[in-house]
Chain A
Amino acid sequence: MFKHAILCAALFAPLCAQAATDADLRDIRTQIEQLKKSYEQRISQLEQRLQQAEADSKHAASTAAQAQATAQQASRPPAAANSFNPAISMILSGTYGQFQQDPSIPATGFAMSPNNNSHTRSFSLKESELGITADIDPQFRGVATLSLAPTGGLSAENAFIQTTTLGNGFNLKFGRFFSGLGYLNDQHSHTWDFVDQPLVYVSMWDNQLGEDGMQLKWLAPTDTFIELGAELGRGLGFPGSDRQTHNGPGAAVLFAHVGDDIGYSDSWRAGISLHQTKQVNAVSNNVPDLPGTLGGVSNSFTGNTKTTGLDFVWKHAPNGDTTITNFKLQGEYFRRQENGMLTYDIAAANTTDSYAVTQSGWYLQGVYQFMPMWRVGLRYDQLDPGTAQVGALNAANVISSYGYTPKRSTVMLDYSPSEFSRLRLQLAQDKSRQGLTDNQLFLQYIMSLGAHGAHQF
């Protein structure tokens, strides 16, 4: 403002002077002089204040930022997944499969186990998994994983409640869940490192042991990870036979896991598990027999089943950073003892006598990320059908020993442009069926949409 005034005075003064008297001129000159003095004073005052302000401003900036942030702290709510809406995620997956043998033939010696190896020829959509998760209230959290079968139909794969406030290392889960036994059992199929489960999981747990029941886990207050878990369930999943006519629990699981780090680059977890259930009138079809009945016979088994397991996983990443290269080695062993009464050929002969068998299986696999986004994996599988103790009445009917060791070697290569997408090639030589070597090829995609679920170890 005052700059304008000076300019105006300076410019127009000569014009005015011509018309004015000398006295007027002197008056004007003194006035201008006074004006000039007062403005100069004010300018220098302002300059001083400006300098001081500049000096202060740097100091003030950090104080201001501090004050602003403190103020913000009160106003910004904590992070939440869509406020009250649950976190929703969806897994889309599909395969292309090529086999030399009929994928529905079971492993030799395991015809009395389910054989849902999820192998489908040609292009096929796999289960689409819809996941919904939210805190229910301050005490409970709910998790639902709904599986949309490619042929239609919706099933509850997981639907359970977890407590969030028990404390002291306790976690209680109830509803339908994957059992915490072993290492792979409670991992969802989209996190598997191969297209299919190891043979031992297919034969002993029908891919994955799911249970309706409750699980209590306790974590010890130690630096070393020590976790103990117990489950009671209905006996829904194989080897349980889903006894619906029976009150009380139909299956029980105990497991313990121990784990730790070795330096920054290595970490491991090892575990033991025990599963017990009773099978009642569990029917298996197409079981081969000694007379060589074409297409096999249907048998029924009632008895106790006890499965023990060992599992371990070791992960290595340089300095503990998995993004560039990392390596994972895992192996599991399960041994199942069955003891009870077997009814041979329920459709015709229908003879019942004692039956006991101990079967086992293991796998060892390594997956190596050799560069960002690319991984290669190798897996070896083996089963032992065991030698059955068959009661005298069925000695000429039921095969007690197959004298064959089912095995399979698998190699896979996968490419993950991001952590939400994965494309996989898998080749396997499957010798799990005597005399039926099967060279298998799989192509697979696994994509996840929506909420970002955290991954377990």
Chain B
Amino acid sequence: MKNLFSLLLAALLTALAAPASALNIFACEPEWAALSQELAGDKADIYAATTALQDPHHVQARPSLISHARRAQLVVCTGAELEIGWLPVILRESGNPDIAPGKPGNFEATRYVTLREVPTVISRSEGDVHPEGNPHIQLDARNYLPIAQALTARLAQLDPDNAAFYQSRLKDFTQRWQTAIARWEKQAAPLRGQPIVVHHKAYAYLDNWLGLKEVAELEPKPGMQPSVAHMSQVLQQLQRQPARMVVRAAYQSPEPSAWLSERAHIPAVELPFSVGGDDQAKDLFGLFDDTIARLLAGLK
């Protein structure tokens, strides 16, 4: 009991001693941590709740996540029910009403872009469907422009003293990002119209941006594990309608794509999927540089 008490006391003192100036941001996924970093620079203390090697649908509501949410002034998440299996528990248990849904401290990126693949039939018999639409918006570089704008407005709202700083960071980011988009679109021109197979239905936005054509998924239904029975069907389909590669995210098991790759004689391409998904995807720019480079390598 004595030990616990001294631990608590130490904890309290550390908490009080911590500089209160930096805006405390809790980012649900690494891409939003990276975007927050671009926009807030050293004015924010950013905690990324997950890494690119974790399936964002299935994250444990770990004690460390709850304790980090407790002190957050802003949570930056994807929304559209991507985090429904874990975030509600964290927000509730944190005892921090500032980051509750609907509060200025709760930012959902999917609210600022047009969601694709909004299901017409909402039934679990269709697998892990998201009623609001496909939440994997982070692979269309163009989506970051409106999200960055909205996030900057939110940062300025929560930390008005630094509003001008955030605005100038946004201006700078937007400029660099638009140049990069033009470059990526040029580089990715050979990908236009190319048929691909994907592990999980997580590439709707990438496809729409770069013109890739998704012809099949390894998962029989979104969120269901790939089965040999289903993949055999995909293999048969590929004989009639060939694809150039089979694409998966860094956090997904390589086995199903390796199985198909070997039999359909098409390359298996692992994409970083988010910042930190591989050594090249160190920031948002690296994420897209590497994603496009890997897709182009898949064509060869």
A residues contacting B by CB (< 8 A) are 58, 61-62, 65-66, 68-70, 72-73, 76, 78-79, 141, 162, 164-171, 217-228, 256-261, 264, 267-269, 272, 315, 317, 319-324, 372-373, 417-420, 452, 454-457
Contact = CB atoms under 8 A, between A and B. Distances in A.
A69 B144 CA distance: 11
Interface stretch (B52-60, B158-166, B264-272): B52-60
Contacts of A454: 61, 84-89
A258 B3 CA distance: 12
Contacts of A259: 62-64, 67
Contacts of B61: 454-457
Contacts of A268: 63
Nearest to B177: A62
Chain A residues touching B, majority SS: mixed
Nearest to A457: B61
Contact of B146 (A66, A217, A264, A315): A66
Contacts of A452: 81, 84-85
Most buried by A among B14, B50, B79, B124: B124
Nearest to A68: B114
Contact of B95 (A69, A217, A321, A372): A217
A441 to B, nearest CB: 28
Interface in B23-72: 50-51, 53-55, 58-64, 66-68, 70-71
A170 B170 CA distance: 36
B222 to A, nearest CB: 11
A455 B64 contact: no
Given A169-B96, A418-B223, A70 B60 contact: no
A171 B92 contact: yes
10 contacts: A69-B112, A70-B146, A220-B70, A222-B15, A223-B64, A261-B62, A267-B64, A268-B63, A419-B85, A455-B85
A306 B146 CA distance: 59
A447 B102 CA distance: 31
Interface residues of B, number: 67
Most buried by B among A165, A220, A257, A324: A220
A319 B53 contact: yes
Contacts of B14: 222
B112 A70 contact: yes
Given A65-B114, A267-B60, 6 more contacts: A62-B178, A65-B113, A219-B66, A227-B63, A315-B62, A452-B85
B91 to A, nearest CB: 9
B253 A372 contact: yes
B23 to A, nearest CB: 16
Given A65-B145, A260-B63, A320 B98 contact: no
A321 B251 contact: yes
Nearest to A167: B97
B150 interface: yes
Contacts of B98: 167
B114 A69 contact: yes
B145 A418 contact: no
Interface string B231-247: 00000000000000000
B118 to A, nearest CB: 12
Given A79-B80, A257-B63, A319-B51, A220 B12 contact: yes
Contacts of A170: 95
Contact of B11 (A79, A162, A168, A226): A226
B224 interface: yes
A295 to B, nearest CB: 45
B121 to A, nearest CB: 16
A62 B98 CA distance: 33
Most buried by A among B54, B95, B128: B95
B7 interface: yes
B54 A79 contact: no
Contact of A320 (B11, B54, B79, B150): B54
B70 A169 contact: yes
A232 B185 CA distance: 63
Given A319-B51, A418-B128, A171 B86 contact: no
A324 B64 contact: no
B97 A165 contact: yes
Contacts of B168: none
Contacts of B84: 452, 454
Interface in B105-156: 108, 111-114, 124, 127-128, 132, 142-143, 145-146, 149-150
Contacts of A70: 112, 146, 149-150
Contacts of A78: 101-102, 108, 111
Contacts of B113: 65, 69, 72
Contact of B62 (A141, A219, A267): A267
B63 A267 contact: yes
Contact of A73 (B68, B85, B93, B111): B111
Contacts of A419: 58, 85
Most buried by B among A62, A170, A171: A62
A169 B95 contact: yes
B92 A162 contact: yes
B258 interface: no
B8 interface: yes
A315 B114 contact: no
A452 B127 CA distance: 13
B202 to A, nearest CB: 13
A419 B178 CA distance: 41
A324 B63 contact: no
B181 interface: yes
A267 B114 CA distance: 36
6 shortest A-B CB distances, which residue pairs? A259-B63, A225-B63, A69-B146, A169-B95, A319-B53, A222-B11
Contacts of A264: 51, 53
B94 interface: yes
A456 to B, nearest CB: 6
A385 B12 CA distance: 41
B100 interface: yes
Nearest to B83: A454
A222 B95 contact: no
A420 B224 CA distance: 11
